[in-house]
Amino acid sequence: MSLYLDEIWLQWDSPDTARRALSVFRTMDSESFSWPPGVRLVAGPWFSNEEAKIVLVLDIADHAATFASFTLATAHGLIARRRLTPVVAWQAIDDVLRLLPESTG
């Protein structure tokens, strides 16, 4: 499972464009939303109360498969920008701690 924190900033400059953007993404948490192949919603979606941003956790087999969908949404003026951050389970910290050398000083 390849998990990503996906932050999507919506593009809007008026109530009409806000309604349009929110309407398109409104069904992200339902079976009717058209995710790209190999993409599964793991957590969220959540909406920021500080900026026009959707936050989700996705399982993405190949993040290149999301390029066309999100690029088209940007071209159509729905998305201002996106940040996709790979994340790992907290237990991976134990693996890192085992790999770090012991302190000598």
Strands annotated E in the chain: 3-10, 39-47, 53-60, 79-87
pLDDT at residue 16 is higher than 90: yes
By percentage, how much of the chain surpasses pLDDT 90? 77
Q: Provide the pLDDT for residue 63.
A: 85
Mean pLDDT of 12-30: 92
In degrees, rounded to 5, the angle at the alpha carbon of residue 59 between the alpha carbons of residues 58 and 61 is: 135
Which domains, from first to last, does the chain contain? 3-99 (3.30.70)
pLDDT at residue 102 is higher than 90: no
Mean pLDDT of 74-92: 93
pLDDT at residue 32 is higher than 70: yes
φ/ψ bin of 24: left (φ > 0), alpha (ψ from -120 to 50), beta (otherwise)? alpha
Q: For 61-78, write each residue's pLDDT tens digit.
A: 998 888 998 899 999 989
Q: Is the overall model pTM greater than 0.75, yes or no?
A: yes
pLDDT at residue 103 is higher than 90: no
Q: Provide the pLDDT for residue 87.
A: 95
Q: Provide the pLDDT for residue 105.
A: 64
